[in-house]
Chain A
Amino acid sequence: MGMTVAEKILARASGRASVRPGNVIEPRVDLAMSHENGALVINQFLEVYKETGLEPKVWDPSRIAIIFDHRVPAESAKTATNQKKVRDFVGAQKISKFHDIRGDQGGICHQILPENGYVRPGMVVVGTDSHTTTHGALGAFAFGIGATEMASVWTLGSVLNVEVPGTIKVVINGEFAEHVSAKDLILHIIGKLTAEGANYKVLEFHGEAVHRMPTSGRLVLCNMSVEAGATAGIVPADAETLRYLHETAGVTGQIDLVQPDADAAYEQVVEIDITNLTFQIACPNGVDNVKPIDAVEGTKVDQIVVGSCTNGRRDDIAAVAHILQGRRVADGVRLLVFPASWKIYQECMAHGYIDDLVKAGAVVMNPGCGPCLGVHEGALGDGEVALSTTNRNFKGRMGNPKSEVFLCSPAVAAASALVGHIARPKGENHGQPARVESAEAGCLEAW
């Protein structure tokens, strides 16, 4: 019996010829990522060494990545002090993959890792963030862990007592309708599987639609796999993976495209044809409370957020800019855009997207997690409703339990911003003709 991608990666990382779901292994770690919660990892790491007489020393400083993103620049003295503590530790331990609050290297951890070539197919990646599943888009086995578990990884270089998860094969065929995207697809999948449908499982993505999908879309699928409870999401590495690694991430040298065996054993096979898939909305207060847009079209919104580790990439911001170009965000709605990294921010500037967004009335924020988890900026008032391209809509997620959050794709966010309520992108003018004074008004006919 053959192995799935996850099983192959875990077998190799634990020095075995093969593994099966349920086997208990201690895979070595290729990359261990933390963000501001590195401060808590440091506490636990020092606790491990307490009274051992040994000098605390991480197992391999070249395999640890720390990226400040959750609260940048610091929103409070407490955060600033945590960040200072991490900075000092990074220096003392000589941790090389450190991304501070800087316009030339910063951003959200789940964008910084791929765009810098830190993640490659076949790797075991752990992160003290549940959305570490994102990195499966490059054919790695990547999963979220807690701070104490990370302290153990920093000490030993392996994850202790991991049960090999079973794999669900998700086969996606057909072609997206205009403006429908990977976000609509993954929301649809989460709605089908439910928020715990893939708990302790891996989602392995296949099918012609996935083969055609750019890495930016695959990152969306794997990022939100955790919202169905999955330990990891994986897209088996292919020619598009190589293109991304070589052209965008600057990776050179040998890349091993780990493929599942033809006779791999899957616990379940889910087949989806996206040809007739329409825009999907996750309604309050659960990511699996997914409805086609028809059910909530017209719902008035107060704030629209575009960004996050899910949908803050250049393709996402381009989709929004194209819809907003030459138009105006409706009165009474705030549009906040936060690119996922400063590299993306600069690319968006070069393409004129930032200009389009600001002229339309959007507030473009510095790259980081922003309002997504309610710790930093963009809080909601009592009774307010947000529409967001982020990944969670639990009660209180954006900082106020008396507010509500709907989740959507970048295109739906942009179309809704023009009218102030949940709206679908339309082929013509999105309910608002472009202003003739737009320098590139001619381009708008396509929209």
Chain B
Amino acid sequence: MANPQESNQPRLVVSKLGDDISTDAIYPGRFMATVLPTETPKLAFADDVELNAKLNSGTLPQGSVIVAGRNFGCGSSREQAASCLRGHGVTIVARAFARIFLQNSINLGLPTVICPEIEADQGDELVIAADHIWNRTKDRKFAIAPLPAARQAIIDAGGLIPYTRRLLLESRA
């Protein structure tokens, strides 16, 4: 199945993060009363002053990428962690994602790519193909792991809300 992120356009790596980036780091708990996807993006990585400022600068090239290690999004089920990143139009490329965060991302349409061996640094340019990522700066290729098959139908429907709406209407038809 085609990778929804596939494109020939090179994408800039705007940040490189390590393993076990928690939802507390992505969207601190003290902001949980803020829920609207129009309001959460400005709080993304609020405690990482540099990254937060970069995301909110309004100058990120389209299709920018955050590269992370393993277990990205571990911890809380808070959906703001996905909605705050989606609002910035970034793609998350990680070696592996925590379960609930990945599901939330799929449900909300935050682009995620599982790339178990990815090596990239801030400032590198990536080209995301159907089954691999080409780090153009380092001239190295890394295989993409397909999303769990069960998730693709939700992505294809444009997210869980339209997917559920369709099932609701079918059940009433």
A residues with CB within 8 A of B: 24, 36-37, 39-40, 43-44, 47-50, 52, 54, 70-71, 76, 78-79, 82, 128-130, 132, 144-149, 151-152, 155-156, 160-163, 195-196, 199-200, 229, 231, 286, 288, 373-375, 392, 394-397, 399, 401
Contacts and interface: CB of A to CB of B under 8 A. Distances in A.
10 contacts: A54-B172, A146-B78, A148-B160, A195-B71, A373-B32, A375-B33, A394-B25, A396-B25, A396-B28, A401-B47
Shortest 9 CB-CB distances between A and B: which pairs? Answer: A373-B29, A146-B104, A196-B71, A161-B150, A394-B22, A401-B47, A146-B79, A40-B35, A24-B150
Nearest to B47: A401
Given A199-B96, A392-B24, A161 B71 contact: no
Contact of A130 (B71, B100, B167): B100
A160 B168 contact: no
A151 B161 contact: yes
Contacts of B159: 148
Interface string B134-173: 0000000000000011110110000111011101110110
A283 B121 CA distance: 29
Contact of B168 (A70, A156, A231, A396): A156
Contact-residue bracket for chain B: 35 or more
Interface in B74-90: 74-79, 82
A395 B47 contact: yes
Chain B interface mostly: helix
Interface in B101-121: 103-104, 107-108
B168 A54 contact: yes
Interface of B: 20, 22, 24-25, 28-30, 32-36, 47, 70-71, 74-79, 82, 96, 98-100, 103-104, 107-108, 148-151, 153-154, 159-161, 163-165, 167-169, 171-172
Contacts of A132: 77
Given A229-B98, A399-B29, A148 B75 contact: no
B24 A195 contact: no
Contacts of A149: 103-104, 107, 160
A416 B169 CA distance: 58
Given A229-B74, A374-B30, A395-B47, A160 B25 contact: no
Contacts of B168: 48-49, 52, 54, 155-156
A79 B33 contact: yes
A364 to B, nearest CB: 23
A201 B164 CA distance: 26
